[in-house]
Amino acid sequence: MKNRHLACPLAAALALALAGCGMLPGGGGQTKTVNIWLMRDSVSEDFLTRFTEAYEDEHDDVELKVTIQDWTGIGKKVTEAIEGSGGPDVIEVGNTQVAQYADTEKLFDLTLESVRDLGSEDWVPGLAEPGSIGGSQYGIPWYAANRIVIYNKDLFSAAGIDAPPATRAEWLSDTEKLNRDGNQGIYLAGQDWYTLAGFIWDEGGELAVDKGGEWTGALESPAARRGMAYYKELQSLGSGPKNADEQNPPQADVFAKGDVAQLIATPSAVAAILKANPGLKDKLGYFPIPGGKAGQPCAVFTGGSDLIIPENAPERTAAIDVVKALAGEKWQSELARTMGYVPNKKSLASVVANQEATAVMAKGAVRGRATPNSPQWASVEGDNPIKPYMTAVLMGEDPLKAAKEASAAITDTLAE
């Protein structure tokens, strides 16, 4: 095993820079150092140690230097890195960020590797689609997460509900039964726009559409308004605020009080729920967000990360091999089991079969989607017009008028 020294020391328990993150090339310059940027908390220290040691043992001429980056301010930092010179060689980016980096024309085209080596036809769509720009694959799917329904088994039992709903219509009916006797049928904040996006997609609508290279908001379409109407009906079956998102207050803390029957969240919310109320440990159940048809989950927003390689990567050939390893079956399976993620391929869903919440998440991921693949979409989210639109509809304003106003704001931003 190679000797290693710290290039980026641990600053706290969750900091992920490891021993093994770098050694200057030696042996007459024969050793290649592959510089990798990963995001904080994306992987555990244990996973990264195991991957680094295994990879370096199998590749005597390669050293991996891993630097952990924070999400805050990362966009500017990545853009400067890929437009400059000298690396890094591999960068983890949010799946919905690939378009803005590809817009610089400074990313390496990984289409050939995607088809030839990485089985791209089996990728989870919510990761694969945003990584593909103009027919070229610039982002390689790494891991995914999406929302599921977390429910209180005791409250379901008390309401006489012995199985999760199979359709959105059945879900509404069950939630009405749960929304009584001092309990909330569901806690759904009024501005949870990622959940709304799933309902819009499930109805056949879009947040925005690309018309010959020009993006326009699409919230006023009949399909999109049906999605919003369903959201309004579901949101009314609880006491979630109409003018705030799921972080205000933190919805896991609200659910932890024990009088909320359901919550829409990623499985990562479970830790926060149990920290606030350990007594719920054996009372939590999970099911995919129901779709319009039985046997088909609702479309869901897929969050997660892709791996990109800049055109200026000093060790591009070695970097491609590292990406193949991280995105390949062996380390995808390890990553999913270790971190509770959805693997990048639908066929690998079975590796998390013994992790109940993650297995449910993987079922929903087959209908995963990402936000519109525009380089300017991040600017839409920065001053998000979808949130006040949702509040307006929930407060009784004219849905079509509010949708047209929000769509116009989206169109203006995407045209910048």
For residue range 134-173, list pLDDT tens digits in order: 899 999 999 999 999 999 999 999 999 999 999 999 999 9
347-385 residue pLDDT tens: 999 999 999 999 999 999 999 999 999 999 989 998 999
- Indicate the pTM of the whole model: 0.88
Fold match, 32-145+303-369 / 148-301+373-414: yes
What is each CA distance from 208 to 56, 87, 404, in whole angstroms? Answer: 44, 34, 12
CB 320 within 8 A of CB 113: yes
Each residue's pLDDT tens digit, 183-233:
999 999 999 999 999 999 999 999 999 988 899 999 999 999 999 999 999
Q: Over 60: is that where the pLDDT of 270 sits?
A: yes
148-301+373-414: CATH architecture: 3-Layer(aba) Sandwich (3.40)
30-68: pLDDT as tens digits:
899 999 999 999 999 999 999 999 999 999 999 999 999
- Separation between Cα atoms, residue 300 and residue 145, nearest integer Å: 10
With CA atoms as reference, report the closest residue to 268 among 42, 18, 70, 96: 42
Does domain 32-145+303-369 bear CATH number 3.40.30.10? Answer: no
**Distance, CA of 64 to chain centre:** 26
> Is residue 416 predicted with pLDDT exceeding 90?
no
The whole-number pLDDT of residue 86 equals 78
pLDDT digits (tens, 9 = 90+) for 78-90: 999 999 887 799 9
Domain ranges of the chain: 32-145+303-369, 148-301+373-414
pLDDT digits (tens, 9 = 90+) for 315-339: 999 999 999 999 999 999 999 999 9
- Rounded-to-integer distance, Cα 261 and Cα 246, Å: 16
> Six-digit token pair at 260?
């909320």
